[in-house]
Every structure is written in structure tokens, then in C-alpha cells.
Chain A
Amino acid sequence: MNFKKVLSLSFVFLFATASVAFPANNTRNVYSVYSDNFNGAHFYGVNDNIPESDTDAIKFDIWEDQWTPGGTMTSESVESSAGDLAPEGNRYMRFKWKQYTWAGCGYTRKKGTTTNANIDMSAYAGGTIKFSVRSTSSAVLQNCEIGFSIVNSGTEVQKWQYLKNLSGFDSTSTTWQELTYNIPTGTSLSQVRSFFIVRQTANVVQNDTLDIDNIRWVKSAEPAEFSVIRKKVSDNSEVSDQTTPISFSEDTFGQGWAVADQYLELDIDGDLGGNNWKVRFYTNNDKEGLYNIADTSDVLPTAWKISCSTLPYTNYDGSAITDYNSLEIGENWAPDGETLYGLYDAGKVRVLGEGAKTWYPWFFVKAKDDSSQASIVWQNVPGNPSQSGCHTFENTDAGGVTTQYYDALTDFYERKPKLFFACNTGNAKASKYTASFIISLSYE
């Protein structure tokens, strides 16, 4: 059965359009369709003016019975909460059938003024489509189909599979389960149009819901890759020699807290075998910062900050965002009994004004032997929504008050968090300070 496309439902995010060329992601080990952490498709929500140069652009469409007044299906992006956890990142998608009639939806390749387009996904031949799914409705679990579509000789062809026929499916489960759809062998993937489609055509129960998360195309038997690229803070270009150290300019000497001239751009490309993984950053010794090579007891306080975007935040067209954070650092030692202690963003912080001591996104680096949460810069931990996404961190001050910093990757096309560095040069000596750091990806 083919659906008639009669309308597309509004979605929750709006993005500014970009004027830059986007390199396609269709050769990555994992091509994400709906994820807070991984790269692949660029989701444009309801934007009707997608840059044609973005060959990874997708939109979300709903197909439903055009003769049913009020529509037959809705969708929403649900944010995790303590009692309702997304298995990956901080959000999941919820689909609801409003009427006792068929309806479906999907993530479809688009370009320009939302014209249908295709993308070559041949690299994933023999691979799988993996996703997390949940429903409390046995009707949905028994009757729901998922799949993808290709274009063959100008005609869109949909490849469907019932959930109940997928490996690992548990028809009695009402909690999240990870399922794998094997891409049919022999299927030409040179013109993929829809990356993930969902439908229910029979036994539809009103208000039944289906939750989906972490949809990705996965190559067969490819190891996970974790890349760390040095980029310049000044113009965000790649450093030509990736072996050079992150460095501080001499101008920072004696200036107090200062930011390094380069940052690291992180990118995880792989199926990590689950959603429990962590990226840690710590010194490769017992020092908690850069140390003076002439006197190793002389250590400069050193900190890191992770951001989903380059800093300071700007729109993709380069215009300023009023709700941004900066690379200006203040240190609050709470001398007057203030609650918070640590390194705050001393720039114009959200709606709170310049220099507000309320936003503490900088964290002191930890030594190698410190295995606490303090060394985690990026992670996804199922069952703990506050630690999902790009980064959420709990920093406890001397008074036992916890500061949380969350920076969701979902809001950006490229899910490549940036790791910035700073040190306090106020008491630096005329010498060289250095440290070797470990950055590691671990997963279960």
C-alpha cells in the first residue's frame, strides 16, 4: 500500500538556513537519522527553504487519510524526564494515531523548497537500520511496520517490515527495546529517499502511541571511530599540522584565566553496541593542569569547557545569537559566602546579563587517577536524562550545591562537540608549562 502525501505536520525546531556547502555524510560508519549525538542526516524540521547544497537534509512528513477531518496522526519531540527516559540523548519522537484509521510518517530527503530528493546510501548495503522503540499498545507492537524507501526508475518503492518480525523483538515489552532491521540484500541503495518510515494500516486504536529514538543506518562490520580534530578558535579552520600541541599565546601571560588558541572537535562514528558510552579527558599524569617543566610542582589551574557550537555562539549565517555563551571566564571563589564556587561564563550570559555568576560551564581538569565523573566531557547514560546529550555535568561546590550544565547537540546540524581549554596564567612564571592529556572513548 502506498500512502498519499497530503500534508506535513509541524515540528518543534526551526533552523536558520545556511549558505555553506555541506559535505555529505553518506560514507560514515553510522548515518544517524534521529540522534542527539551522532552525525548523518541534517534535520530541518518544518523549514521550507532547505539549502540545496546540503545533501543530508531531511524533513519529517506525515501521511494520512485525507478524508478524515482533523487528521489521523500527530508527532512530537519529547524531552526526557526522570520518569520518562530517552534511551539516547535528551529527546525521543512520539507518534500518536488520533483516529481509527491508517496513517504513517517518515524522515525524507528534501532540498530547496522541500522538493523530494534522493541520496546514495550504497555504502550501507548489507548493513542495518537500528533504532529504539517503545509502545504500551499491543496493537501497535503487533501491527506497526517500519522501513525505508528508494527510487527505482522514477518510482518510489517502500521497503517494509513488521516490528514483530525484527530480530530481538519482544511483543510483551512496554519499555524501550533496541531493534535491528536488516537492509534487504540486493536492494539498490543508490537513490534512497526516506531513511525511516513508520505506518500502521490495520487494527489502529485511537490514541495509541509509538516512541522512537536513535535511528541510524549502520554499515556492516565497521569498527567505531572516534576522531579528534584540532581547530583554531580564531576562524574555526583546521590546524594544518594536527600533531602540534594545543597552545596559549604569549599575550595570555599573566592575564589570569585565558583560553587556548585551539580547540578539539570531537566526532564519534560508530555503532557503540548500546547507548552507554563516555568520553573522558584527563591528564596523563598526577597533575591537575599544565605544569612548569622547570618545576613540576608549579601547576597552572587548567579547565575545559565543551560546547555544541563554536564560540561565541552565532547563527549559521554568522549573525549573533542573543542567547549564547562566551569564552570569557570568571572565577568565583565565593569569598562572600556565595553559594556557587568555580568557573563561570563571564560573558553575556543568556538573559541574565554580562558577567552573571550563574553559568558555570568550565571545569577543572582532573588527574589520571581521578576516575570520578569529573573527567567526563561527553556521554550518554541510559537511565539518567541529566547526563545525556552533548554534555551535562554535575559540579559540586564546597557547600554541596550542584551545578548542572547541559548543552544539547540536537539543536545543531553537526553533532561534533567542541572541547575548549583555559588556564589561569596569573601566577605563571617565565617558563614553559605543558601537560599530556588522555582523551578516550569507552563503551559497553
Chain B
Amino acid sequence: MKKNLGLFFISFALLFCSNIICAAVISSGTVGTVDIVADFSNMGSVDFSFELKNIADDSSTDTINWKIQDVALRQDAPQWKWSTTYAVVKATVTDPTVSYYLYQKNTESTVYKSTAARIVQVYTSSVTFAHSGLVHEEKQGGDYGGYIALSYFFSANKLSSSELQREYDPETMTQSGDKVARYFTDEADYVAYYNGTVLKSEITSTEANFKREYAVIACASAGGLVFGPYGADGSFAPWAPNEVQRSKTAYMYFGGNFMNVFRGDIFGTDKIVIEKVVE
């Protein structure tokens, strides 16, 4: 299998407005008025950085890599492997209107373009059509051998390779338990319900992956089904709910499910997006 897992990160910002202060008078008597003001016009600073590093020596890199020697070929069963790359994410956000979205745009890719969604049925009432993950260069997605599922999780602490392998199971973390990983989702993913409702992948302002209040919130089930927020475990969620987080460093680790890969396959994605959006 040829290693070709290029990643690009894009960000952009929108402006937000500020306003002025006013005052009012309350008088003695039977009726009076009082003004109450919460003036946050001067708030809203945002600083965000994302840096890829190799777990082995903390050297910087610009791609997310796997040690392909550890991958067994022709496995018709889940085979999750941790990437040898991690990301250092730093955020100082005092503007809760700012959200960071983490998602893929594989359908718009040039080399690793997904043209066929894989179909994931988790519930009897709905089906997910997913383009996310690493896309087979020639098969361009689809159900069998057309992709490698991609996941990630955040840690408040930097993990060594041995800690990662010993204590974190990339397969079960995407299913349940207190160590929560998320599937990457693609902008083109959507959920079809049997009642006729069709929803786009829930990459919305209230469920953004990096939103300060909600931590790693783009919760995913098996196969990339996005179904909404999931309570984050404190040890893994740098931006835990109900916790004031204005300056944090988090460490992001990546998992890949190398199921049904064969010699000569090339998988990749060049459209992972981190997007800053102001509501």
C-alpha cells in the first residue's frame, strides 16, 4: 500500500460587531425604571493554532501518517491503527460566537475524490450516506474497500506512543465508553430517515467540533453517522461543557480503520478543513 495521506487545513474568519453603552435613571416613587446592561462589546478575541507533529520525536510535519508496516492486508474485519502523527491545538477564545468546524470535503477533492457514498445503517429508522475518511484513489469511495474510516480524539495531555497503544483502543473508542473518539464527517454526508426527512451532515454552528463550550462535540456513531452532541469526559475534553476554557492546549490523535485494504491501494484525503465561523 502506498502511503499517501496528505492533509490541508484551511481557516477563515468573519467579523463581528461592537456597540456602545447607554444609561438610565430610576426614581423614587411607586414606579421606576432601571436599566441593566451587559456590555461585551470589547470582548471576542480569538486565537487558534493547529500544528502537526510526529509522536516519535515531536518534530513538525505537514501530513498525517500511519506506520503501514503494522497494517495487515486483506482483513475483512475492523483493523484500527493510530497514526504516528498528532496535532497540537491551542485556543484562546473569548468569543463564544466563534465556532471551529472540523470536517472533510472529499467530494470536492481532486486526487482522492469521493464520488460514491458508503451506506451505513445504524438504526432501523435511518441510513447515513458518508463520504468521509480516507478515500481510495481509484475506487473513489463506496462500500467495499473504497475508504478507510478516519477518527480522532482529544486529550488534555500529550500521550506517548506506548500510552496510546496501551490505554486507548481506537475501535471501541468510537463506539462507547468514557474514552470518546469521533469519526470525521464529510460536508456531503447526510442522513436519510424513513419518514422522508433528509438531513445534511450536522456540521452546524451549535455542534462544531471546536466550539468552546461543547468540546469535541461532533459526536459520531459507527460509520460516520452524526447524531449530535455527546457529553465529553473531562480527561479527554479540553473544552468540557460547563467549564470555562479560555486558553487551552489540547492534543489530537488520529485513528484509521484499515479494513479490506490490499497491496497497491492508495488512500488519502486532501480536504480536511478546520473552519472558523462566527455565528
Residues of A with Cβ closer than 8 Å to B?
224-228, 230, 242-248, 250, 252-256, 260, 264, 284, 290, 293-294, 300, 302, 421, 423, 425-442
CB < 8 Å neighbour of B31 from A244, A431, A439? A439
> Which B30-51 residues sit within 8 Å CB-CB of chain A?
30-44
Query: Counting CB contacts under 8 A, is B94 at the interface?
Result: yes
Assess the B38–A423 pair: CB atoms within 8 A: yes
Assess the B17–A431 pair: CB atoms within 8 A: yes
Assess the B43–A248 pair: CB atoms within 8 A: no
- Kindly state the separation between the CA atoms of A247 and B35 in the bound complex, as whole angstroms: 8
| Residue picked from A250, A421, A434, A436, most chain B C-beta under 10 Å | A434
Chain B residue numbers with a CB within 8 Å of A427 are 96-97, 213
Chain B interface residue count, CB cutoff 8 Å, equals 38
Instruction: Give the shortest distance, in Å, between B19 (CB) and chain A (any CB).
Output: 4
Residues of B with Cβ closer than 8 Å to A?
16-26, 28-44, 94-97, 212-213, 242, 244, 246, 279
Chain A residue numbers with a CB within 8 Å of B20 are 432
Q: What would be 20 A-B contacts, judged by CB atoms less than 8 Å apart?
A: A226-B30, A227-B28, A228-B34, A243-B23, A245-B35, A248-B37, A253-B40, A254-B95, A254-B246, A256-B242, A264-B34, A302-B36, A428-B38, A429-B96, A430-B42, A431-B16, A431-B17, A433-B37, A434-B38, A437-B34
- Known: A227-B28, A228-B26, A256-B242. Is A436-B35 also a contact (CB below 8 A)? yes
Residue of A nearest to B40 (CB): A253
- Kindly state the separation between the CA atoms of A431 and B15 in the bound complex, as whole angstroms: 12
- Known: A428-B40, A435-B35, A437-B33. Is A245-B23 also a contact (CB below 8 A)? yes
Chain A residue numbers with a CB within 8 Å of B279 are 429
- Kindly state the separation between the CA atoms of A161 and B37 in the bound complex, as whole angstroms: 54
CB < 8 Å neighbour of B22 from A434, A439, A440? A434
- Kindly state the separation between the CA atoms of A253 and B43 in the bound complex, as whole angstroms: 8
- Kindly state the separation between the CA atoms of A224 and B30 in the bound complex, as whole angstroms: 8
Chain B residue numbers with a CB within 8 Å of A260 are 36
Chain A residue numbers with a CB within 8 Å of B19 are 293-294, 431-432
Assess the B33–A255 pair: CB atoms within 8 A: no
CB < 8 Å neighbour of A432 from B33, B38, B96? B38
Instruction: Give the shortest distance, in Å, between B113 (CB) and chain A (any CB).
Output: 38
Assess the A429–B30 pair: CB atoms within 8 A: no
- Known: A244-B23, A255-B244, A429-B97. Is A435-B36 also a contact (CB below 8 A)? yes
